[in-house]
Amino acid sequence: QVQLVESGGGLVQAGGSLTLSCAASGGTFSRYTMGWFRQGPGKEREFVATCGWIPSSTKYAASLKGRFTISRDNAKNTLYMQMNSLKPEDTDVYYCAATSATGWGEGRETMYDSWGQGTQVTVSS
């Protein structure tokens, strides 16, 4: 299994931006479909965005499209997520995940078998 480490979380004011990174090791990154999920206290983990290794297979949660952008750099074995116009309701722990079960972008949490430890994003009002 690939190992994943997220970074880039922190405290930001509403309207600000953050870029999350997810460094992968121990696998062939370019053949993994990657995803970002988030979870807050007492809430279920929810899908944010996904980027398959098949070109143009990016998907977003409908409520987030336009503010968040997922991307990957296969040469650096790293997944990114640019988050703009952040809102207090975006406050959550953000997780990256990987799956080799499909090459297409995948929004179902159960399809992923490798997860990072998460990075906290806090948006103040």
Burial 45-72 (b: 16+ CB within 10 A, else e): bebbbbbbbeeeebbbbeebeeebbbeb
Give the model's pLDDT for residue 118.
97
Start-to-end Cα distance in the chain:
39
Tokens of 11: 């405290």
- Tell me the pLDDT tens digit for each residue of 33-71: 999 999 998 999 999 999 998 888 999 999 887 999 999
Residues 97, 100, 105, 106, CA torsion sign: negative
Give the model's pLDDT for residue 54.
87
- Residue 39: closest CA among 120, 125, 123, 124: 120
Give the model's pLDDT for residue 52.
94
Give the model's pLDDT for residue 1.
84
